[in-house]
Amino acid sequence: MKRFNVQRTYYEFNDKMTGQVAVHPGFDFGGTSGWGGYRWDPPDVINVLTQERANVHYLEIGVDQGSTFDHITNVEMKHGVDPYGSCKNITHRMTSQLFFSLNRYFFHHNYDVIFIDGLHLSDILHSEIVESLRLLRNDGLIVLHDTCPAIRWRQQVVWSDFQNILENVITPDEKERLDWHENTALSEPVGLNGDVWKNVAHLRTIPQFTTFSIPNAGCTVLAPRKLPKFDQPPLESDLHTTNWEEYYERFEEIMNPVSLEYFKENIGEYLPRENG
C-alpha cells in the first residue's frame, strides 16, 4: 500500500493578512472544509491506538469543547488538561505547565497515549513533548495535532490572534450563547495551526525516534523508539527555524506522511495486547 500521495494545489482566497484576493500554493489533504481542511478527526487516529490494548491510560492536553476527549474509547484512565475549555469532563482545569509540575510532585501518573493539542506555539509544544516523554508507559505513543498546515496563513503566529483571545475570552456559561472555540467565538484566528509543524522538523532529526504524520487527519505520531514500518531516514539537520518555503518543498522528507489507511493497517504490530 502506498504510504501517502501528497497533492500540491493552489487556493484562491481573500488573504486575511493583506485583505487582497490572492492565489497561494498549498496542500490538498482531501478535507471538505476548504483550504486543505482535514478529512479525518483526531479520534480516528487515537482510537486505533486505544482499541487493541487493555488498561489504557490516556492524557489530552487542550480539551476545548471535548470534540476529541469525549469520543476516546476503551480507556481505563482518561485525563484532560485545559485551563479554559468548556468541556464538563476536563479533569485538570489548569495549564499543561502546572499539570506536569504537579504530576511530578503529587499525581505520579503515567500514560500510554498522550494527545497534545493545547497552545500551538512551537516553544511551548517543545516543552510539552519533553514532559510527556517522561510520562509515557512502555510502548506509549504521543499524538500531536495541527502539525500539517495546508496553507501558509494557517501556520502564521500573529500577535492580533493572541490579542483577540485575551480580549474575548468567554466563560463556560456563555458556551450555549456563542459558538465556542478556544475562547474566541468573536474572532476566528488567522494562525489556526500555529507553527507546531516546526516541532516535527526537529523530532525528525532524532535517529532513535520514529516520527510520522497523517496529514489527512492533521496529526503527527511520535514513538520514542523505532517502528520500522513507519520509519524513514532522519533529517540531516535541525529545521526548527526553517521557513514555510522549505516545509512546502520538502514536505515528504520533513513530515514523513502516511495515509490513515496505511496507519490502521500497520500500527497494530507495535501495540502491546496487555499493559503492565
Ligand X SMILES: C[S@@+](CC[C@H](N)C(=O)[O-])C[C@H]1O[C@@H](n2cnc3c(N)ncnc32)[C@H](O)[C@@H]1O
Antiparallel, parallel or unpaired: β 111-116 and 57-61: parallel
* Sheet with 136-145: strands ordered across: 77-81, 57-61, 111-116, 136-145, 219-223, 210-214
State in angstroms the smallest separation of the CB of 116 from ligand X: 9
- The residue among 44 and 64 lying less far from ligand X, judged by its C-beta, is 64
Residue 213 near residue 148 (C-beta atoms within 8 A) = yes
Residue 145 burial by Cβ neighbours in a 10 Å radius (0-12, 13-18, 19+): buried
Nearer to ligand X, 181 or 229 (CB): 181
The 3-state DSSP class for residue 131 equals: helix
Using Cβ positions, the residue closest to ligand X within the complex turns out to be 62
Write down the residue that cell numbers 529545521 correspond to. 239
DSSP 1-20: --S----EEEEEEE-TTTSS
For the bound state, the minimum distance from the C-beta of residue 127 to ligand X, rounded and expressed in Å, comes to 10
Residue closer to ligand X (CB basis): 60 or 131 = 60
The residue (of 16 and 175) whose beta carbon lies closer to ligand X is 175
Q: Which residues bind ligand X (CB under 6 A)?
A: 42, 60-64, 67-68, 81-85, 95-96, 117-119, 182
Q: Write out the three cell numbers for 234.
A: 532522519
**Least distance CB 147 / ligand X (angstroms):** 12
Q: How far is the CB of 10 from ligand X (least distance, A)?
A: 27
Closest CA to 252 of 210, 206, 223, 212: 212
End-to-end CA distance of the chain: 33
Which is nearer to ligand X, 161 or 182 (by Cβ)? 182
**Of the two residues 44 and 60, which places its CB atom closer to ligand X in the complex?**
60
Closer CB to ligand X, 164 or 210, in the complex: 164
* CB nearer to ligand X: pick between 127 and 138: 127
Q: With contact defined as beta carbons under 8 Å apart, do 18 and 263 qualify?
A: no
Shortest distance (Å) from residue 236 CB to ligand X: 32
Closest distance to ligand X from the beta carbon of 146 (Å): 7
Closest CB 237 distance from ligand X, rounded Å: 30
Q: How far is the CB of 207 from ligand X (least distance, A)?
A: 30
CA angle (151 as vertex; 145, 156 as ends), nearest 5: 70
Burial pattern 233-264, b for ≥16 Cβ within 10 A else e, equals ebbeeebbebebeebbeebebbbbbbbbebbe
What is the Cα–Cα distance from 50 to 53, expressed in whole angstroms?
6
